[in-house]
Amino acid sequence: MKILIAYGSTEGQTRKVVNAIAKQIKELGHEAKKFDTSDLLGELHPNSFDRIIVAGSVHEKMHQESLEFFVVAHREQLKTGPALFISISLAAAFANGMADAQGYVDHFSKNTGWHPQKSLMLAGALRHGEYGLFKEHILEHIVLKGRDLEDPASDHEFTDWERLSLDIDEFIAS
């Protein structure tokens, strides 16, 4: 089976998730093709794949614009074939953030006209080395506001790798 993983990643966590998924798919004996939707020169024929995974991260409540463009361009195929949407955010790391995480997915669906059969809301990471003052400000005053985090000045990886692996197994087997 040939599986396409189209993704957008701003600071690298989604890319790390995509690399883990590609490794798992290969270990299951299938072929995985990664496609960074910001790569405007990359050539791609999505209809030559058996399954498609679309993965992106949330910044200021929105997924990457290039990911939205990709989905709009290939919407008909995404609607008919087996496809999985993975939305990575910090909201998904907190019990009181799940409604926000769902809101980001709903907003993406509304913008693109694609309502995935299955969506996975996955917690991302905090990587202070990747941010300048502006991003730090947004994180501290908007994204992490009202969310209890011990030592917010340190890097954190919240991604639940075990759950991701189980969901990928299920998607491949479906």
* Contact footprint for ligand FMN (CB under 6 A): 9-14, 57-61, 88-91, 124-125, 131, 135, 138-139, 143
| Closer residue to ligand FMN (CB): 41 or 133 | 133
Q: Where are the beta strands (DSSP E) in 15-171?
A: 31-36, 51-59, 62-63, 83-89, 118-123, 125-126, 156-157
Residue nearest to ligand FMN (CB): 124
- Beta carbons of 109 and 116 less than 8 angstroms apart: yes
β-bridge partners, 85: 54, 119
Question: The tokens of 27 are what?
Answer: 């270990």
